[in-house]
Amino acid sequence: MSEPVFLSMPEHVAIIMDGNGRWAKQRGLPRAMGHRKGVEAVRETVRAAGDAGIKYLTLFAFSSENWRRPEAEVSDLMGLLKAFIRRDLAELHAQNVRIRIIGDRHSLRSDILNLLLEAEETTRDNTALTLVIAFNYGSRDEIARAMVSLAEDVEAGRLRAREITPELVNARLDTAGIPDPDLIIRTSGEERLSNFLLWQAAYSEFVFVPEYWPDFGRELFYAALEKFAARDRRFGGLSPQAAAVGT
C-alpha cells in the first residue's frame, strides 16, 4: 500500500489504545487475549506512523489508575510490555525509532524499569519517529510531580514563585522537549481523556474511533489523519481565510 499524501500532517499523534477487553469478550476469549492482540495493533500502527512521516507517536499503554485492575491482569500487562521491548527493540532500533518513556518510573518493578531505560538508551540518537510510551502514566500525577520540582527550586532559592510560566511548567513535565499532540485518537467509542496529557491537550484535535484497539491499524490510522487534515485549527485566533477578509 503506497503512503497517502495529506494536506496537513500532525507532527505528534497520541493514541488512547482502548477496548482490548471488550474485543476479547465479544469473541468469548479471556481479556488477556485482547491485550495480546493489541500488541499486534501497536506494531502495525508504529510502522504506519513511521511510513507517513509522523515525528512523534505517543501510545497510552498503562495508566496510573490501571493498578486498580485485578492483579492477574496487571501482571499480564507488565509481561506484555516486557515481551514487546525484548522482542521489538532491535527492529525498532533498525527502523531508526527513538523510544521515550513518560509516566512515574519510581513505583515500577526494577526488571521493567531497567528494560525501559535500556530501550531509551539504545535508541537515544535515532532520528526517525519518536515513539513515546506512556506507562504508569497519569496526567495529574505528572503535573503534581512537576509542581514539586518547581517548589523545590523555590524553596532552595533557585527560582522566584512569580517567575513560573507555562514554559517553565512545560519543561518539568515528563513530555519536556516533545511538542504538544496535534491529534489525539481514542479507540473503542469512549470519548474521554482518562487522565491522559491534560496539560498538553490544550489545543489537540480529537478523533474518536468506534473500533476496539485490536482492530486498529494502518487503514484506521490513515483515516484519522485524513479527518485531522480537514480540521480548521485556530488556537484562539482566526482562520487564515477569516483573517484575510477581516470578518
Pick what 16 binds: Mg ion, ligand IPE, none; C-beta below 5 to 8 Å, kind-dependent: ligand IPE
Residues near 218 by beta carbon (within 8 Å), at least 6 away in sequence = 1, 44, 45, 47, 48
Q: Is 212 in the site for Mg ion (CB under 5 A)?
A: no
Q: Does 85 bind ligand IPE (CB under 6 A)?
A: no
Does the annotation list 194 as a binding residue? Answer: yes
Of the listed 51, 66, 104, 141, which one is catalytic? Answer: 66
Contact status: 82 vs ligand IPE (CB under 6 A) = no
Q: Which stretch binds ligand IPE (CB under 6 A): 13-21, 102-110, 174-182, 234-242?
A: 13-21
Q: Which residue is nearest to ligand IPE (CB)?
A: 21
Name which of 20 and 58 has its Cβ closer to ligand IPE: 20
Rounded least distance, CB 15 to ligand IPE, Å? 8
Residues in contact with ligand IPE, total (CB under 6 A)?
Answer: 18
- Please say if 18 is a catalytic residue: yes
> For residues 100 and 164, what is the distance between their CA atoms, to the nearest angstrom?
26
Asked if 18 interacts with Mg ion (CB under 5 A), we say yes
Q: From edge to edge, which strands make up the β-sheet containing 130-137?
A: 98-102, 130-137, 56-63, 12-16, 183-186, 205-208
- Residue 61 touches which member of Mg ion, ligand IPE, none, C-beta under 5-8 Å by kind: ligand IPE
Q: Does 211 bind ligand IPE (CB under 6 A)?
A: no
Q: According to the binding rule CB under 6 A, does residue 146 interact with ligand IPE?
A: no
The set of cell numbers assigned to 90 is 532491535
Among 10, 14, 21, 32, binds ligand IPE (CB under 6 A): 21
182 carries an active-site annotation: no
Binding-site residue positions for Mg(2+): 18, 205
Positions that interact with Mg ion (CB under 5 A): 18
Positions that interact with ligand IPE (CB under 6 A): 16-22, 60-63, 66, 77, 188, 190, 192, 194, 213
Enumerate the active-site residues: 18, 66
